[in-house]
Amino acid sequence: MNLLGKNIILTGAGRGIGRAIALEIARQGGALALISRSEQELQETLNLIHVVSPASFFIVADMSKRESVHNAFLFIKKRLDIIDVLINNAGIQGPIGLFHENNLDDWEMNLRTNLLGPVVLTHAVLPLMMAQKMGKIINMSGGGATGTRPNFSAYAVAKTAIVRFTENLADEYREFNIDINAVAPGAVNTKMLAEVICSDKKAGKELAEAIKRQSAGGTDPEIPARLISFLASDASNGITGKLISAPWDPWQTEEYCQNLRNDRNLGTLRRIDNKYFIEKS
């Protein structure tokens, strides 16, 4: 139980990957402050983990609204003296379709939820972690962060920004023993998959892949949950500023983890221009 005694904030905890993360962390002994917009879904998650994690509780909050996020943090701060880990998992996918056809209010809402929500919560948590001289922050990235994702421009922009936000803060707070990483969870079948299918032709080339994945099954949500549990634990100490793929990177091996610690460019977003990856002749 390598998270025994750890106090952990988890957003987007009501369903999907968030619920899988909550279950894994609870099994590892962590106490969770669960955040989501749906009280019913939060209660369901809490019911699933309460036997093994009786100190866990939930707060209803909307990650797209700064005041809501701030109030949730104040509530958590009253309950917990120490915050060991922050997991920014909450996210939305829309709008879907060609950019010029997107509703800009929906586009902005995506950035408020996927980017600014984590920014606000991280801004609140960091001073506590600095005072503790320790902490872990884990941000959820995803499709579009390492390559273009046509017809999903808002999501791709937000998730790319999350990676650079992660890398930047990792360098800023390295001296405070705060490890900050991003996770690419893989193609997990969640509510977002149904949104792609319902959007029909607006999803472009992703529609056929989504339909195929719906029937064949995607990445097991326990895979990103285990990676996030690892990054929340002391076993990952010294790994910071990285984007790690749950299904594709060999993060379970000590050799790869040591490479992440020692190679500043491994697991990061960089332009390939003979400066970072290719030796000059």
- Percent of the chain at pLDDT above 90? 73
Q: Collapsing DSSP states into helix, strand and coil, what is residue 252?
A: coil
Give the separation between CA 146 and CA 123, rounded to whole angstroms.
25
Tell me what the pLDDT averaged over the chain comes to.
89
Give the range among 91-95, 113-117, 186-190, 199-203 with minimum mean pLDDT: 199-203
Residue 281 placed within a domain? no
The pLDDT tens digits for 198-215 are 565 665 665 556 555 555
pTM across the whole model: 0.90
Q: What is the CATH number of the domain that holds 173?
A: 3.40.50.720
* Stretch among 182-196, 203-217, 220-234, 242-256 having the lowest mean pLDDT: 203-217
Using an 8 Å Cβ cutoff, are 177 and 133 in contact? yes
- When mean pLDDT is compared across 147-156, 213-222, 238-247, the lowest value belongs to 213-222
* pLDDT reading at 187 higher than 70: no
pLDDT of residue 272: 72
78: containing domain: 7-192+220-262
Is 170 domain-assigned? yes
Active site residue 276: no
1: its two tokens: 């139980």
Is 75's pLDDT higher than 60? Answer: yes
pLDDT value at position 13? 96
In a domain, 156, yes or no: yes
- The CA-to-CA distance between both ends of the chain, in Å, stands at 50
Residue 73: inside a domain: yes
- For residue 11, the SS3 value is strand
pLDDT at position 217 is 58
The full DSSP string for 153-206 is HHHHHHHHHHHHHHHHHHHHTGGGTEEEEEEE--SB-SHHHHHHHHTGGGGTTH
Contacts of 82 (CB under 8 A, 6+ apart): 7, 128, 132
**pLDDT of res. 193:** 54
pLDDT at 191: 57
- Tell me what the mean pLDDT of segment 239-268 comes to: 95
Active-site residue identified among 155, 173, 256, 276: 155
Nearest to 147 by CA among 260, 269, 243: 269
Number of domains forming the structure of the chain:
1
pLDDT at 244: 96
Q: Which pLDDT band holds residue 142 (cuts at 50, 70, 90)?
A: confident
- pLDDT(144) > 60: yes
Q: Say yes or no to pLDDT of 189 above 80.
A: no
pLDDT at 146 over 60: yes
Query: Is residue 185 within 8 Å of residue 140, measured between CB atoms?
Result: yes
Q: How confident is the model at residue 25 (pLDDT cuts 50, 70, 90)?
A: very high
Q: Is residue 267 part of a domain?
A: no
3-state secondary structure of 125: helix
Specify the pLDDT at position 60. 97
Q: Is residue 183 part of a domain?
A: yes
Question: Percent of the chain having pLDDT more than 70?
Answer: 85
Q: Which residues contact 279 (CB under 8 A, 6 or more apart)?
A: none
Phi-psi region of 102 (alpha: psi -120 to 50; beta: other; left: phi over 0): beta
Q: Is residue 201 part of a domain?
A: no
Residue 248 maps to a domain: yes
Contacting residues for 125 by C-beta, under 8 A, at least 6 apart = 9, 73, 83, 86, 135, 137
> What is the rounded distance in angstroms from the CA atom of residue 121 to the CA atom of residue 183?
17
